[in-house]
Amino acid sequence: MKLTGVVKDGELVIDPVAWAIALREFAGRRVTVDIDAERAIRSVKQNNRYWGVLVPLAGDFLGKTRDVPLSKEQVHYVLTSAFLGCDQTPLGLVPMRTRDLDTKQFAAYCEKVGLWLMEQGYHVPEPGE
């Protein structure tokens, strides 16, 4: 069971009804309680700008430099490899995943991609432009 709450003035504040249900469900049993900070996932606007503006512009540039068009997924792979880095796995290096980034981290990643595109001579519209 997963419950969410807020820490205020050194106390964990949880919906009392949800807490009571959880306690009833585990009555008489030993339990472990984990507390983690909630991560804000990237917004729909951020995601739309990334896939609708940055990836196509990068795809255009990468396609011209290679004389071969790339799929959106291939462009995304190149961008994450270049601007997020890679993780070592038993199968070798793999790019870090953007789905693991919170809104601030994803915004910083998109900013790096946008600056790189501007260095390549592309006009990168600002969000909402």
Predicted TM-score of the model (pTM): 0.65
Instruction: Give me the pLDDT at residue 78, please.
Output: 92
User: pLDDT tens for residues 22-47?
Assistant: 888 888 999 888 887 766 677 888 89
The DSSP code for 14 is E
Q: Is residue 127 assigned to a domain?
A: no
Same domain, 13 and 70: no
The DSSP code for 29 is S
**C-alpha 101, offset from chain centre:** 3
Same domain, 9 and 67: no
Considering its fold, how many domains does the chain have in total? Answer: 2
Tell me which residue range forms the domain holding 12.
1-38
Same domain, 72 and 103: yes
Same domain, 53 and 92: yes
User: pLDDT tens for residues 56-115?
Assistant: 999 999 988 777 789 999 999 999 999 988 778 887 888 888 888 888 889 999 999 999
**C-alpha 122, offset from chain centre:** 24
